[in-house]
A = this chain, B = another copy of it.
Amino acid sequence: MNPLFININSKNQEKLLYTFEAHTFTFPKNSSLLSMFQNDNIIGFVVEGYLQIIRTDYNGNTTIIEELEKNNVFGTNISSLNNAEYEIITKEESKITIIDYNRIIEEENNKLPYFHQFFKNLLDITSEKISEKNERIEILTKKTIRDKLLEYFRIVSEKNGSRIIYLTMNYSELANYLAVDRCAMSREIKNLKEEGFIKSEHKKITLLY
């Protein structure tokens, strides 16, 4: 379910996307979307695929800021894409729909019966993003690699309602996400396994505590 369209029936969804002149694009794997709407102010969502928002700082270090899976929403403002250090890249072939933000905030939209709901949804999505950022901060404020891993596992496990976790990122990316050295993380995962806290095979991790 696309959170932009909660409580909006599919006929009105189409109408809304038509009114806002939404456009859908497909990007090949490992491409940057930024050039597409560099100076525009947009809201977009993932129709199909997997993308990441990454930041590259002045030293050339990159950090994963956000993962974008099917139905996830992103935007110039709500994803800090107005910051030149941020960009969106596709990790696999991806299809996205883009809406001009300026069309969304036009006052005359108030006449559309479903617009209020749409705008409310947008605010809910933005609030939800703040929650996710706070969760990331909860992870990053942990002092040890072990505690960061366990906090990450806890959050993912709670979100999916299961003690079995399938990693969406690969291990290099996870280390980046947790802001730790990949090798040190690998060592710590081995320790967690040896001490019986987790079981892991490839990207499947089972929490045993």
Contact = CB atoms under 8 A, between A and B. Distances in A.
A114 to B, nearest CB: 10
Interface of A: 55, 57, 63, 65, 75, 77-80, 83, 86, 105, 107, 110, 116, 119-120, 122-124, 126-127, 129-131, 133-134, 136-138, 140-143, 179
B131 A80 contact: yes
Contacts of A77: 124, 127, 130
A124 B120 CA distance: 13
A65 to B, nearest CB: 6
Contacts of A136: 133, 137
B105 A120 contact: yes
A80 B134 contact: yes
Q: How many monomers of this protein are in the complex?
A: 2
A141 B138 contact: no
B131 A130 contact: no
Nearest to A108: B116
A138 B61 CA distance: 11
A77 to B, nearest CB: 4
17 contacts: A55-B134, A77-B124, A77-B127, A77-B130, A80-B131, A83-B131, A105-B120, A110-B116, A119-B123, A123-B126, A126-B130, A129-B130, A130-B130, A133-B133, A133-B134, A133-B136, A136-B137
